[in-house]
Amino acid sequence: MAKPAPMSFARALFSALAWAVQPLLRRKLRRRALAEPGYGVAVPERFGHYQPADLGRDGRGRWVWIHSVSLGETRAAAILIKALRERMPAMRLLLTHSTATGREEGAKLLQSGDVQVWLPWDTLGATQRFIAQFHPAVGVLMETEIWPNLIAGCANAGIPLVLANARLNAKSEAGALKMGAISRRTYGALAAVWAQSEEDARRLRNVGAQVSAVLGNLKFDVQPDEHLLSLAASWKQRLSKPVVLFASSREGEEAQLLGQLKSQPEAMQAVQWLIVPRHPQRFEAVAQQIADAGFAVSRRSLWGAQPPALANAIWLGDSLGEMPLYYAMSHLALMGGSFEPLGGQNLIESLACGTPVILGPHTFNFSQASELAVQAGAAIRSADMAQAVQDALAWVQNGADLEAARAKAHDFMAQHRGAAGATADAIVRLMNS
């Protein structure tokens, strides 16, 4: 067995700080659990303690471990997990997360013999206990998650740990470069890095990663739930007005839209607006915002079998797991996170449902997919919310243009599929090497 690499001064300092802030982390978890009870579940796992004590040991050395920090990464992981199960039907899955929404979504992916736990906080002790408990055959970090002690621990234990569907925006690149040697050593200790795009690969190499390949974006392989698509189609036939969805809206953005709807009454008359906040803990606050703006609000959680026929009401999508329903019943979607400087949310799921997208000016988290979609005619970019509302009205009033954009969305998705199979094949090869 290779001798463990000596700990650098930078990682020693990081480790000391990670250990020192544990009381603050526990307090933060208690506070988060008041709004999202999921944060109060299995808290000892956050610090590398598992109950019962032998959890996972029967799969020691055989686990395929996938870490997906939150909801978006877990949805991407679901696509990869499906491809891996096709290649390894007897696969034992170890699934870890950092957020309550990620863990809730991940629970849907488990089969008999699989295990789901929290990723431990990146102290030396917690990561060593995690590795000793499970000792997976391979580890897969999804998209952006980098933890110095965890990665070094896996390297020292001979566990190949990879970064899949890897992306790095300019802001994160700058932050990694500021971290200097600790960042370069951490990225450099990964067994493989599979980037989403050539631009991501360039940035990852710049911070010390050895990029093995550019395999594309797993999210292009998404297959929306057929039941939800069918339900959306039946609802859409009964609608009296076209639906415009504000998808994955973030704090501050709903106020922008509501302000525009108050100043542009024709937008309320011509369109049925549907808002689906990105974070479920904001459902109540957004419902109150809508009411305070002077609009009636109709909540999905109260609809029953179909949407109500309420004139001049704004619909609120306050449910989990139904984004394909919301996208497919809508004629087009405004993409949240792009109207505040937050980097935008993922537009691929909307396009997979055949729903064209209007982007705001801020899409640095999904820059390549956004630019390619605009070039393909499946999306357009608006300078601000005022223009986005006008663009939405113009689009829904031109049926031929909207139908052409829907076709382009389907074509765009078909052209970019294949990352799931390529990534799964690369993981299998790594495990067999």
pLDDT tens digits, 354-367: 999 999 999 998 88
Predicted local distance difference test score (pLDDT) of residue 390? 96
For the sheet with 63-67, list strands across it. Answer: 115-118, 92-97, 63-67, 138-142, 161-166, 192-195, 211-214
Question: Which range is least confidently modeled, 5-9, 29-33, 109-113, 330-334?
Answer: 5-9
The structure's pTM equals 0.87
Q: How far apart are CA 132 and CA 117, in angstroms?
A: 14
- Average pLDDT value for the chain: 93
Tens digit of pLDDT for each residue in 220-253?
999 999 999 999 999 998 888 999 999 999 999 9
Tens digit of pLDDT for each residue in 144-154?
888 999 999 99
Q: Is the pLDDT of residue 309 over 80?
A: no
Q: Which two tokens stand for residue 275?
A: 């808002």
Site of tokens 């057929």: 226
Task: Give the closest residue to 338 by CA, choosing from 383, 375, 279, 369.
Answer: 383
Question: Which range is least confidently modeled, 59-63, 402-406, 407-411?
Answer: 59-63
Q: Which amino acid is at 59?
A: G
For the sheet with 313-316, list strands across it. Answer: 296-299, 313-316, 272-277, 243-249, 332-335, 357-359, 379-381
CATH of domain 37-53+60-216+418-432: 3.40.50.11720
Q: Is the pLDDT of residue 2 over 80?
A: no
The DSSP H or E segment spanning 314 is strand 313-316
Q: Is the pLDDT of residue 368 over 90?
A: no
Q: Is the pLDDT of residue 61 over 80?
A: no
Q: How far apart are CA 186 and CA 146, in angstroms?
A: 7
More confident residue, 28 or 281: 28
Residues 6+ apart with CB under 8 A from 129: 48, 49, 50, 120
Task: Give the closest residue to 367 by CA, choosing from 102, 97, 162, 173.
Answer: 173
Q: How far apart are CA 338 and CA 382, in angstroms?
A: 10
Predicted local distance difference test score (pLDDT) of residue 54? 63
- Whether the CA torsion 76, 79, 85, 88 is positive or negative: it is negative
More confident residue, 228 or 51: 228
Tens digit of pLDDT for each residue in 249-272?
999 999 999 999 999 999 999 999
Q: Is the separation of the CB atoms in 356 and 333 below 8 Å?
A: yes
Enumerate helices (H) and strands (E) in the chain, giving the number of each.
Answer: 19, 14
Are both 37-53+60-216+418-432 and 226-416 of the same fold? yes
Q: Is the pLDDT of residue 72 over 90?
A: no
Predicted local distance difference test score (pLDDT) of residue 35? 87
Q: Where are the domains of the chain?
A: 37-53+60-216+418-432, 226-416
Q: Is the pLDDT of residue 53 over 80?
A: no
Catalytic positions: 73
Which class is domain 226-416? alpha beta
